[in-house]
């Protein structure tokens, strides 16, 4: 009798939830297998290692997240687009109970861990790829805003600045858990880019 095939999407969803909450070092394949209702050996056969499973799960998350960001940055005035971007970013950091923070920042902090416990160069490249894609989406929104006369700066430099601010927000969220503080910083960043909104 053939063993029951497991639902890869469901396993990836469950695995990523654990990686997001506990980090790669804090997550075991046994815990993922238990929560997914599959055999630990099946995970090894399908993915090869915990780190490889993380990478597949992270890339799935990154693809979905970029799709949502494209929508947030895709319509309305530039101020509205940037506000939607920061709103989505902060909601992502604050999701879960307790809030899970930023999976990319958490993963980056695990790079260079003790041998055998951390992530490898492939993971670093995946984190960098997501940040590059996010920065590209912001740059595109700023470039379109500049064409409409809503922005006068350098879209490339401004996009990198905004992406850098999101990393700071991720750290502040972990340190203080103060959503109002994060939103205040986001609004101030938009004002720096576009000028204060007239009321």
What CATH number has the domain bearing residue 115? 1.10.357.10
Backbone angles phi, psi at 119, to 5 degrees: -105, 160
Count up the domains in the chain and report the number: 1
- Decide if pLDDT at 5 tops 80: no
Phi-psi region of 151 (alpha: psi -120 to 50; beta: other; left: phi over 0): beta
Average pLDDT over residues 148-167: 97
Domain contains 134: yes
Domain contains 82: yes
Domain contains 120: yes
Tokens of 9: 């999407």
Domain contains 54: yes
Average pLDDT over residues 41-50: 90
Tokens of 62: 């990154």
Domain contains 9: no
Buried b / exposed e along 190-199 (16+ C-beta atoms within 10 A): beebbeeeee
Average pLDDT over residues 179-189: 97
Domain contains 27: no
Domain contains 188: yes
Confidence band of 112 (pLDDT split at 50, 70, 90): low
Domain contains 36: no
Domain that holds residue 81: 50-194
**pTM of the shown model:** 0.90
Confidence band of 106 (pLDDT split at 50, 70, 90): confident
């Amino acid at each position: 009798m053939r063993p029951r095939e497991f639902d890869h999407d469901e396993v990836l969803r469950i695995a990523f939830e654990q990686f997001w909450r506990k980090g790669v070092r804090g997550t075991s394949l046994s815990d993922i297998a238990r929560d997914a209702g599959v055999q630990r050996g099946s995970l090894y056969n399908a993915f090869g290692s915990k780190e490889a499973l993380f990478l597949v799960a992270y890339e799935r998350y990154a693809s979905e997240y970029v799709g949502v960001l494209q929508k947030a940055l895709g319509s309305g005035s530039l101020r509205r687009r940037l506000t939607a971007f920061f709103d989505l970013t902060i909601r992502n950091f604050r999701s879960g109970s307790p809030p899970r923070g930023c999976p990319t920042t958490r993963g980056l902090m695990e790079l260079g861990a003790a041998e055998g416990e951390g992530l490898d160069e492939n993971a670093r490249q995946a984190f960098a790829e997501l940040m590059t894609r996010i920065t590209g989406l912001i740059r595109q929104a700023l470039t379109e805003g500049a064409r409409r006369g809503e922005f006068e700066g350098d879209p490339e430099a401004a996009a990198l600045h905004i992406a850098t601010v999101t990393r700071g927000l991720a750290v502040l969220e972990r340190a203080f858990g103060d959503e109002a503080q994060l939103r205040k910083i986001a609004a101030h960043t938009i004002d720096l880019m576009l000028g204060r909104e007239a009321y």
